[in-house]
Amino acid sequence: MKGALRLVGVEYPKSHDVSEALLSNLNRFPERFRKSIGEAARISKELARKRAAAMYGEEASNLPPEKIFDRNDAKKAIDDARQVLETCKKLLRPLS
């Protein structure tokens, strides 16, 4: 998603969640890509929110990541990441 932002001339935020940058620059993207940005932004926000807990657990509760997330959570994260990858490929297709 950061690459998609750079491709349209947007300096992406130096954080893991780029959802606001995607949504606020919607008009810079080609029409075929715009309809997918809402879902990509939702996924960005969700994955960024879970990132620290997935890597380090929840320190306050003394829970390791494997006690917070299960196989289904991992599968959903992978499926979401694949969906975003396919969305970004739509943007790059005309360039290849």
Q: Judge whether 8 and 28 are in contact, CB under 8 Å.
A: yes
Which letter does DSSP use for residue 15 in this model? S
Average pLDDT over residues 29-53: 92
Q: Which domain holds residue 56?
A: 2-95
3-state SS class at 25: coil
CA dihedral 31, 34, 35, 40 (to 10 degrees): 150
What pLDDT is attached to residue 13? 86
State the Cα angle at 89 between 47 and 31, rounded to 5°: 95
Q: What is the mean pLDDT of residues 79-95?
A: 86
Residue 63, strand partner residues: 58
Give the residue, 95 or 84, on which the prediction is more confident: 84
For residue 71, the one-letter residue type is R
Sequence-separated (6 or more) residues with CB below 8 Å from residue 18: 1, 2, 5, 12, 41, 44
Band (pLDDT 50/70/90 cuts) for residue 78 is very high
Q: How many structural domains comprise the chain?
A: 1
pTM: 0.83
